[in-house]
Amino acid sequence: MTELELEPGFYLLPKGMLPSVVVCLEMTERPAPREVPAPEGLTLRHVERPELGWYRALFAKVGEPWLWYGRRLLSDEQLAAVIHDPGVEVRVVELAGSPEGLLELDFRKPGEVELVYFGLTDALIGSRAGRWLMEQAITLAFRQPIRRFWVHTCNYDHRSALDFYRRSGFVPYRFALDLDPDPRLTGHLPMDAAPQAPVIP
């Protein structure tokens, strides 16, 4: 990650590049626990050493509408090195046995936990499932002493994502700009993914 020294102004980016404005958030102490019962038929299952094809399918199902593409850029060997690491925990939200959400936590850096991926499919968005899943995430992150629990969101996430994280106890602490080739143009995502982000070839 590079810290840029930019003058205030308006910058035209090369065509084919996808910029995202990122908000970094953290919580440095566990908020008071909330009683949020699991919606009917919903379970959270820890998947140890996820099979790569299964993980890629879940990642696509949950993240495609929001331009999740980071894991799609990895080879099988690179992906396995991450999600099979003992310090990375992958959990799937299941609704009556159907995979409908992803929770991924990274414990590899001592004293902190990253909420790497947190998402639900359309089948659960707008229900109480998000609140319930966040309470599970916070409990898992703070099950041992840590200095901070952190996450980032961007302008391509659900329009309520930032407010949701803030209501959950996260505090914004920094902006960032992420600039990559548009994954729809490189073939890593279908061209009709995330229509809220125009494709500019």
Q: Is residue 2 part of a domain?
A: no
Q: Is residue 158 part of a domain?
A: yes
For residue 80, what pLDDT is reported?
98
Name the domain count of the chain.
1
CA angle 121, 163, 113 (to 5 degrees): 75
pLDDT (tens digit per residue) in 104-132: 999 999 999 999 999 999 988 888 899 99
- Containing domain of residue 134, as a range? 17-32+40-181
For residue 18, what pLDDT is reported?
94
Q: How many CB atoms lie within 10 A of CB 59?
A: 23
For residue 127, what pLDDT is reported?
84
pLDDT (tens digit per residue) in 139-151: 999 998 999 999 9
Q: Is residue 8 part of a domain?
A: no
101-to-28, 61, 128 alpha-carbon distances in Å: 26, 8, 13
Task: Kindly provide the b/e burial profile for residues 137-153, where b requires at least 16 CB atoms within 10 angstroms of the residue's own CB.
Answer: bbebbbeeebebbbbbb
For residue 146, what pLDDT is reported?
97
pLDDT (tens digit per residue) in 56-78: 999 999 999 999 999 999 999 99
For residue 3, what pLDDT is reported?
79
What's 164's domain CATH number? 3.40.630.30
Q: Is residue 12 part of a domain?
A: no
For residue 39, what pLDDT is reported?
86
> pTM for the full model?
0.94
